[in-house]
Amino acid sequence: PNPHLGSGSIVYNVKITRTTWLEVLYRYDAGIHVEYPATSTTGTVGHLFQLDPDKEWVNPSFGFAYAQGIPSRTTPKHEPRYVEVLVDAEGRKVPCQVSYSTCMAVKMCEFRDEDSTPWHCKASREDLKLRQQQELALQALYTAPEYALTMKTLAYFTALKTQGCQGPQYEHISAAVSQDQAEWNSRVEDGRRGHLPKESCGGALILDYNKKNRPFIQCEHYSHNGTVDHFIDYSIGHEMFDTEYLVALFMGDQHIINKIEEATNIAGNGPVSGCPTIVDSAAMQVNCSYIHRNNNGQLVIGKLCQLQCDNKIHIYKPLEEYRKACPFVLVTCSNEHSHPIPLPSGTPHSIKQQLFELLYSMDEDLPDLTPRRFLRHPSMKLWLAVQLPDVSKPTLSDLHISLSNRDHIRSYITQAQATRFPFGTRW
């Protein structure tokens, strides 16, 4: 790169065009991947990546944890741009193609706590550790013994309200649904994203009591002398659920409902608590996984809202014929992120490439390789020791958190097997 930058990995106040200066420029050696590039509220921050000119170039922004999208555009090759930091060995600026994109932020539940959307300009290891701890704490709250029965009961009631009786269609048409139920059905329909449900009964579910005064739930069209293929459930009278809460939900006893739900609210969960759900903006999910109460006290399915972010990303890449002369890519970021820090949702491309190279090198062990065998393979252990020399007994999750998911590893093994043995092994 430009010899005027010196040899440091961090350089301040760097001019890149006639009108643009970088507050800070971070320089990365070949093979380094960045998931959370720093930005600034007062200017622009640059990230200069060194790439291998003899290998296929992968846009460094593909490894960012921030989803990128519109407004976006790429300048045509016949209208090259020039920047001061992308130069050849003699200091001459090389022609570049520029891509512009915008951070797509994240999706959050409409019932979120506004205090849970902190803005940020960078993400440290401590910040990520805190985010992961928050995710684990949320899961622990919903599985805590003192609240698990309440949440299980609410989940069961929600499933009944969503699915209804799945028996065959009944010739009798029930009374028109209420406005609340119509709104609920509309949210359920949104969650299906156009997939049509199978035709079913649609009858009302009724809570009743047997001769032993134990509650049970049945479809209005169920009859033990005839239509036995309609819904009926006697399990609720056998302490599988919080019977008091379930009966109150069916009967609309707001006093008991408030008493039970306020207890869970104190612990930080339940339908009346602020929702901490955060989903990647690229996720197809449209509804929150948890049930909430609106301002009118009605149970509703929370809708995931797409947050907006003003963070801008510009990527300067030398034209292909100049990449040997200048094997660098410049990424600039401006404006802070107006949303919580997103957790990594995928494995960076550079790490995936190295994993595939490792898999291909296993030769005769590849055909019947499983995630378990791969994790214990001597080649994998040796490779990890080279990648993470400062970590005692390193694991794949130490390399990247997404590799703690064995389904991801199985997917990579399957892809490698299909590439190396496209017609199978025939043994």
pLDDT per residue as tens digits for the range 97-150: 999 999 999 998 888 876 666 788 988 878 877 877 777 766 666 666 667 788
pLDDT digits (tens, 9 = 90+) for 183-242: 766 766 666 665 666 777 877 888 888 888 888 888 888 887 777 888 888 888 777 888
**Residue with the larger pLDDT of the pair 349 and 342:** 342
**Beta partners for 28?**
49
* For residue 245, pLDDT beyond 90: no
The Cα 385–Cα 403 span in angstroms is 16
Residue 201: the pLDDT is 81
Q: Which residue, among 154, 155, 157, 162, has the nearest Cα to 188 in the 3D structure?
A: 162
The Cα 105–Cα 338 span in angstroms is 7
pLDDT digits (tens, 9 = 90+) for 412-425: 999 998 888 887 76
pLDDT digits (tens, 9 = 90+) for 349-403: 778 888 899 999 888 888 888 989 988 898 989 998 888 888 888 888 888 777 8
Average pLDDT over the chain reads 82
- Only one residue has tokens 């929150």, namely 288
- Give me the amino acid identity at 247: V
The Cα 170–Cα 200 span in angstroms is 8
pLDDT digits (tens, 9 = 90+) for 9-18: 888 999 998 8
DSSP letter, residue 210: -
Provide the phi-psi class of 426: left if phi over 0, else alpha when psi is between -120 and 50, else beta.
left
Q: What are the structure tokens assigned to 193, written together?
A: 């994203």
Distances (CA, A) of 390 to 124, 307, 395, 398, 413: 19, 39, 12, 11, 27
The Cα 93–Cα 87 span in angstroms is 4
Q: What are the structure tokens assigned to 273, written together?
A: 């608590």
Beta strands in 58-172 (DSSP E): 68-74, 96-103, 106-109
Tell me if 38 sits within 8 A of 121, measured CB to CB: yes
The DSSP annotation for 339-369 comes to SPPPPP-S--HHHHHHHHHHHHTTGGGSTT-
Q: How many CA atoms lie within 13 A of 387 on its CB side?
A: 21
Query: What confidence tier does 309 reach under pLDDT thresholds 50, 70, 90?
Result: very high
Query: What confidence tier does 155 reach under pLDDT thresholds 50, 70, 90?
Result: confident
**Residue with the larger pLDDT of the pair 42 and 6:** 42
Portion of the chain with pLDDT greater than 90, in percent = 18
Query: Going by DSSP bridges, is the β-strand pair 96-103/68-74 parallel, antiparallel, or unpaired?
Result: antiparallel
Tell me if 117 sits within 8 A of 84, measured CB to CB: no
Q: How far apart are the first and last CA of the chain?
A: 53
The DSSP annotation for 270-338 comes to STTSPB--EEETT----EEEEEEE-TTS-EEEEEEEE-----EEEEEEE-GGGTTT--EEEEEEES-B-
Query: What confidence tier does 177 reach under pLDDT thresholds 50, 70, 90?
Result: low
Average pLDDT on 161-166 reads 80
Measured at the CA of 419, the angle between CA 416 and CA 423, to 5 degrees, comes to 120
The Cα 65–Cα 333 span in angstroms is 14
The DSSP annotation for 144-206 comes to -HHHHHHHHHHHHHHHHHHH---S---SSPPPPPPHHHHHHHHHHHHHHTTPPPPP---PPEE
**Beta partners for 314?**
100, 332
* For residue 22, pLDDT beyond 80: yes
* For residue 427, pLDDT beyond 60: no
Average pLDDT on 160-165 reads 82
Residue 4: the pLDDT is 45
Residue 3: the pLDDT is 45
The Cα 253–Cα 394 span in angstroms is 55
Query: What confidence tier does 1 reach under pLDDT thresholds 50, 70, 90?
Result: very low
* For residue 312, pLDDT beyond 70: yes
Residue 42: the pLDDT is 92
The Cα 124–Cα 226 span in angstroms is 65
Average pLDDT on 45-54 reads 90
Tell me if 309 sits within 8 A of 104, measured CB to CB: yes
Q: What are the structure tokens assigned to 259, written together?
A: 């008493």
Beta strands in 29-67 (DSSP E): 44-50
* For residue 330, pLDDT beyond 90: yes
Lateral strand order in the sheet of 10-15: 10-15, 21-28, 44-50, 328-334, 312-318, 96-103, 68-74
Angle formed by the axes of helices 145-163 and 243-251, nearest 10°:
40
The Cα 24–Cα 47 span in angstroms is 8
Beta-carbon count within 10 A of 280 CB: 18
